[in-house]
Amino acid sequence: MKHREYSGKTAHVRYRGGPVGEPVLEDCTAGEPERIVMGAGEVPRGIEEALYDMEIGEQRDVVVPCAKAYGDHDPEGVVRYPRSFLAEGATLHVGDFVTWEHPVSHQVVPVKVVAETEDALAVDFNHLLAGKDLAYWLELVDVVDAEGRSLSGK
């Protein structure tokens, strides 16, 4: 980690990318840069590591292995439910997405129907990018402290 001083600061970043070999999933290259609090886990670990290694103003292409992105696809993350268990269960089919609210944290996440029978559905709770390497173009526009002062000295 070349620039430990970025930790806790806000990085202003433009980026474009997604899974290797697939169409671009995210394109945040126009307009104001996105703000990422460094060290807060707001982006995959491999992206954050690349940003820590970059100079302010630098642009870079990075490939992030799935282990430093959203992890491997875990087969235990695929769970079977009776169709009646899901409010929309009767109308869901393979490839459909459903929003799922975690019963404890109440965090809402998208889950995908990956198999179906007449009476049951298999739902994949893995992150949608689990098991995929990512390819991104990054531009570290600036890094600012809590008072909005640039670390670039400009």
DSSP the chain: ---GGGTTSEEEEEEEEEETTS---EEE-SSSPEEEETTTT-S-HHHHHHHHHSPTT-EEEEEE-GGGTT----GGGEEEEEGGGSTTGGG--TT-EEEEE-TTT--EEEEEEEEE-SSEEEEE-S-TTTT--EEEEEEEEEEE-TT--BTT--
Task: Report the predicted TM-score, pTM, of the whole model to 2 decimal places.
Answer: 0.82
Residuewise pLDDT in 10s, the chain (154 residues): 688 888 999 999 999 999 999 999 999 999 999 999 999 999 999 999 999 999 999 999 999 999 999 999 999 999 999 999 888 889 999 999 998 887 788 888 889 999 999 999 999 999 999 999 999 999 999 999 998 888 887 6
140 CB-contact burial (10 Å; exposed 0-12 / middle 13-18 / buried 19+): buried
User: What is the Cα–Cα distance from 76 to 124, expressed in whole angstroms?
Assistant: 9
